[in-house]
Amino acid sequence: MASDTEDGGEVQPTETTTDDSSLPTTAEKEEQAASTGMEIVKAGNGNAQETGGLSLNYEEARALLGRLEFQKGNVEAALCVFDGIDLQAAIQRFQPSLTDKTASKKGQTKSESGIENPATLVLEAIYLKSLSLQKLGKSTEAANQCKSVLDSVESMFQNGPPDIEQKLQETINKSVELLPEAWKQAGSHQEALASYRRGLLSQWNLDDECCTRIQKRFAAFLLYSCVEGSPPSSGSQVEGSFIPKNNVEEAILLLMVVLKKWYQGKTHWDPSVMEHLTYALSLCDQPSLLAKNLEEVLPGIYPRTERWYTLSLCYYAIGQKEVALNFLRKSLNKHENPNDIMALLLAAKICSEERHLASEGVEYARRAIKLSESSDVHLKSVGLHFLGNCLGKKSKTVSSDHQRSLLQNETLKSFSESIALDRHNPDLIFDMGVEYAEQRNMNAALRCAKEYIDAIGGSVSKGWRLLALVLSAQQRYPEAEVATNAALDETAKLDQGSLLSLKAKLKVAQSSPMEAVEAYRALLALVQTQKNSSGSSKTDAEGQNDSVSEFEIWQGLANLYSSLSIWRDAEICLQKARALKSYSAATMHAEGYMLEARDQNKEALAAYVNAFSIELEHVPSKVAIGALLCKQGSRYLPAARCFLSDALRIEPTNRMAWLHLGKVHKNDGRINDAADCFQAAVMLEESDPVESFRSLA
């Protein structure tokens, strides 16, 4: 059968035979076409030639010859051949017949003469030309050539590609993938970003795997390119759809789409997707969302212990410590991975923050130290650090003074060993300073506080707070106030809450109540600013890190006015506090104090008991109950002694508990015990800070 040339001429058919083995193979046809192409290239004209039964024009011949040179690895030779192709002229010739061919020959990959569709040949040639340029390091030229392929396709199929032949679709897919990569190599990041969006938003009929690859690369580009691109235009979005505001949000959106495809079985699992998503959600402070996605990953993808460890990190980050610890307990089970040092250290860290978990944390820390003994000095130092924290918490839960003393010595020993291995860790120095302070070794605590401030350059307020509290425990109130003012100068306005609260208490200690009231007013203004900036009332009843809640401010003002016997103002402040937190041990205690000051002892006792019922380890309420019962007569002395002893079990350095316990012993005729208690109270009063050192933890 005759084959039509592009200018309408015909070539007579060659002899045929029924023996299929005599028919030329595809490779032979391409070699024959290449030979024909060489002749045509040499002839230098674009008219159809009649050779060997094949009909080729100038662009087609160059396309075939260039493809063969590229496949042989002769990139420069291929580029020389491709340079002679006039893409726009070729497209203008192909366009009138292209739509008819694709509509009538759906899925056809070869023309009747055995040669591929002319448009497909030429477009693939330009794609290979851009690939050649990229290999030769000419990325900008490569990007421009690749862009011309996509522009040509768009001009031929203005309403989106119909059901076109497979070879052309493959060329489109490869070009859409190559374009942004070429722009990236050329350093043109904005063009790369626009090309990624064009590839995903235009109607290219990309298959799921191709689209997924582009989405993953685009997400990685958005996260790590350090180029902040403008958000997608709202005109390209469906009405009501989510429009990301920045690179990270857009990357998260892309990664979530990829994950959804995987859940639906449309693509293969790629662990890098979760790695990128973990990083992106960490930047956005969304560990709960990361945990949700980790839990949705089907079993068998992640090792169980690895998933549990990551989930524990997520839940710890959002404050759900018990949930995080439960995952670690499962992971550290003897049948799972009991020697995972990182899991042991995380478990020890979580336990070191809660008294009732301190004993469990000691075991985790010791196991981690033993495993890192000969392998990693840094991890051993971290393990000793957490061991010290756990021992310090555990010492506050034991009832025996001897046992408490042993645990406190072990705590300091662990910190010392940890510092010996990691001398420049400021957190270690800080925690050791707090431990010294709680043991009332103020000189050592002062040394640690100064060393910590020097180590971090005075940029963290908790170091200044430790210094101020230690100075206040030494009755050096003016110096403590100087340290607080220095911290205020170094701290951003929205983070000054705990410092202003400390300043108010220092004013009270210096008998300057009106200046203390002014400090509380500044605190209230700060909390209101925080609420306006965050757009929520999250600070109303819950203090955040290194901050003070509005509830605490009203409670502090109520206590201040109560100490001045200004009952009306105290009651107003208490009402404000109750409005923010209906059931609070601190509020009930303040109410009981006011009732006791008015000689309403029964009502005061009821308020103290209510406070104790709300918070079983509320030390001020226990002390107040013991003191009130001591006044009621000898029959109540055993009960009073019980409450005061329990308060000292929880807080051994509470001087008021020692004072009232001494009164109980005195009224009961135990003079020697009373003398010991009074001596302890006097010694503690000489080293009593204006605020508990526990507030630093």
Query: pLDDT tier at 597 (50, 70, 90 boundaries)?
Result: confident
Considering only 239-248, 354-363, 420-429, which range has the smallest mean pLDDT? 239-248
pLDDT for residue 681 = 92
Amino acid at 179: L
- Residue 427 pLDDT more than 80? yes
Q: With beta carbons less than 8 A apart as the criterion, state whether 488 and 510 touch.
A: no
Residues in the chain: 697
Which CATH topology does 635-696 take?
1.25.40
Instruction: In whole angstroms, give the CA distance from residue 459 to residue 115.
Output: 73
Can you tell me the mean pLDDT for 435-459? 91
Whether the per-residue pLDDT at 138 is higher than 50: the answer is: yes
Predicted pLDDT at 660: 94
pLDDT band at 47 (very low <50, low <70, confident <90, very high): very low
pLDDT at 42 over 60: no
**Cβ neighbours for 684, distance < 8 A, ≥ 6 positions apart:** 440, 653, 654, 655, 658
The answer to whether the beta carbons of residues 430 and 448 sit under 8 Å apart is yes
Question: Which pLDDT score is estimated for 371?
Answer: 92
Alpha helices by DSSP H, 535-618: 550-563, 567-580, 585-597, 601-614
As a whole number of angstroms, the distance between CA 401 and CA 394 comes to 13
Q: Is the pLDDT of residue 695 over 60?
A: yes
Q: What is the pLDDT of residues 61-77, one digit of tens each?
A: 777 887 888 888 887 88
pLDDT, greater one: 267 or 322? 322
Mean pLDDT throughout 271-296? Answer: 88
Question: CB–CB of 434/678 below 8 Å?
Answer: no
| pLDDT confidence tier of residue 320, bands split at 50, 70 and 90 | very high
* Residue 146: per-residue pLDDT: 86
Q: Do domains 424-518 and 635-696 have the same CATH topology?
A: yes
Q: What average pLDDT does the segment 222-244 reach?
A: 67
| pLDDT grade for 23, boundaries at 50, 70 and 90 | very low
Range of weakest confidence among 264-273, 457-466, 546-555, 587-596:
546-555
pLDDT score recorded for residue 242: 66
Q: Which pLDDT score, from 0 to 100, does residue 397 have?
A: 85
**What's the chain's average pLDDT?**
81
Decide yes or no: CATH 1.25.40.10 for domain 58-91+118-206: yes
Q: Phi/psi of residue 163, each to 5°? A: -75, 90
Mean pLDDT (whole number) for 214-226: 90
Least confident of 399-403, 493-497, 677-681: 493-497
204 backbone dihedrals φ, ψ, rounded to 5°: -105, 0
Return the higher-pLDDT residue of 678 and 170.
678
- Range in 197-206, 229-238, 469-478 the model is least confident about: 229-238
**Would you state the pLDDT for residue 164?**
67
The more confident residue out of 34 and 591 is 591
Classify the phi-psi angles of 376: left when phi > 0, otherwise alpha if psi is within -120 to 50, otherwise beta: beta
* Superfamily of 424-518 according to CATH: Tetratricopeptide repeat domain (1.25.40.10)
Q: Report d(CA 23, CA 202) in Å as an integer.
A: 42
Distance linking the first and last C-alpha atoms of the chain: 91
Lowest mean pLDDT among 31-40, 210-219, 257-266, 342-351: 31-40
Domain borders along the chain are 58-91+118-206, 424-518, 635-696
The answer, yes or no, to whether residue 682 has pLDDT greater than 60, is yes
State the pLDDT confidence band at 126, using cuts at 50, 70 and 90: confident
Tell me what pLDDT residue 267 has: 86
Stated pTM of the model:
0.73
pLDDT, position 203: 79
Which of the given ranges, 21-25, 83-87, 471-475, 525-529, has the highest pLDDT on average? 471-475
Q: Is the pLDDT of residue 534 over 80?
A: no
Give pLDDT, residue 89. 66
Q: What pLDDT is recorded for position 79?
A: 82
What proportion of the chain, given as a percentage, has pLDDT over 90?
35
**Nearest Cα to 316, choosing from 279, 338, 292, 291?**
291
Q: What is d(CA 598, CA 621) in angstroms, rounded to the nearest whole number?
A: 18
Q: Tally Cβ neighbours within 10 Å of residue 358.
A: 21
- Per-residue tokens: 316: 């710890």
* One-letter amino acid for residue 218 of the chain: F
Q: Would you place residue 108 in the very low, low, confident or very high pLDDT band (cuts 50, 70, 90)?
A: very low
Query: DSSP assignment, residue 12?
Result: P
pLDDT digits (tens, 9 = 90+) for 153-201: 887 776 555 566 788 888 888 888 899 998 888 888 888 888 888 888 8
Q: Given a cut of 70, is residue 689 above it in pLDDT?
A: yes
What integer pLDDT is reported at residue 612 of this predicted model? 87
In the predicted structure, residue 544 carries a pLDDT above the cut 50: no
Q: Which residues contact 491 (CB under 8 A, 6 or more apart)?
A: 461, 499
